[in-house]
Amino acid sequence: MAYAVLGETRRAIEFYNQRLTIAHEVGDRRGEGTTLGNLGIAYRNLGKTRHAIELFEQQFAIACEIGDRRAEGNALGNLGIAHARLGEIQRAIEIYEQWLKLTRETGDRRGEASALDNLGVAYKNLGDTRSAIEFHQQSLTIVSEVGDRSGKSLVSWHLGLALELQDDCAQAVDLMQVFVDYQREIGHPAAESSAARVDLMRTRLAE
């Protein structure tokens, strides 16, 4: 996971594969499922999305087998994002809706917020901006309630992008600035790129 954070994905995969072998040998099904999910994310980041989907499906199967509903949700989230990256938006929406239902059954508020946010992104990509805004607003309410600052910044950005499409640029700028401020606070390398995007919107508003 440390190598993954550093962006050294292939090195991370080496360690994940070793972990997977050991988990399988000792019968650690929970660890096996978690590692399959991490491997899937790594391959997805390398652009090998079809292979990632295979790994996420194995992760989901193990989670169902051992009755780990939180892991089921993680696997569904991973699967939905992977299908969305392949442009299979309707399939992604089906999976996100399944994920959302599960999070509500288990009381996973952070997971619920993520599912709603991803649904918003998917509907925006389909051109249904109104539905996208509704999902993002629901997500924003939850992340605010649970005090998830990282989640709040990301959802604010996504909601801002959707509102921009509705020509509500003034509100969009305020929301997207939340994301910029958080990125700067944590020293994210993309902070200034995000800031430039918001500054451009401010310039258009002033014209």
Q: Is the domain 110-207 a CATH 3.40.630.30 member?
A: no
Q: What is the per-residue pLDDT for 201?
A: 92
Per-residue pLDDT, averaged over 187-191, amounts to: 90
| DSSP string of 62-97, one letter each residue | HHHHHT-HHHHHHHHHHHHHHHHHTT-HHHHHHHHH
Query: From the CB of residue 78, how many other CB atoms can be counted at a distance below 10 Å?
Result: 25
In angstroms, rounded to a whole number, what is the distance separating the alpha carbons of residues 137 and 116?
Answer: 9
Domains 1-107 and 110-207 in one fold = yes
Domain boundaries, the chain: 1-107, 110-207
Q: Maximum Cα–Cα distance for the chain, whole Å?
A: 65
Which CATH topology does 1-107 take?
1.25.40
| pLDDT at residue 25 tops 90 | yes
Per-residue pLDDT, averaged over 180-200, amounts to: 94
Q: What is the per-residue pLDDT for 77?
A: 96
Q: What is the per-residue pLDDT for 26?
A: 97
Q: What is the per-residue pLDDT for 206?
A: 85
The tens digit of pLDDT for each residue in 81-99 reads 999 999 999 999 999 999 9
In angstroms, rounded to a whole number, what is the distance separating the alpha carbons of residues 151 and 68?
Answer: 23
Place of tokens 């090998």: 48
Q: What is the per-residue pLDDT for 90?
A: 97
Q: What is the mean pLDDT of the chain?
A: 96
Per-residue pLDDT, averaged over 133-143, amounts to: 98
Residue 80, token pair as written in the block? 């939905």
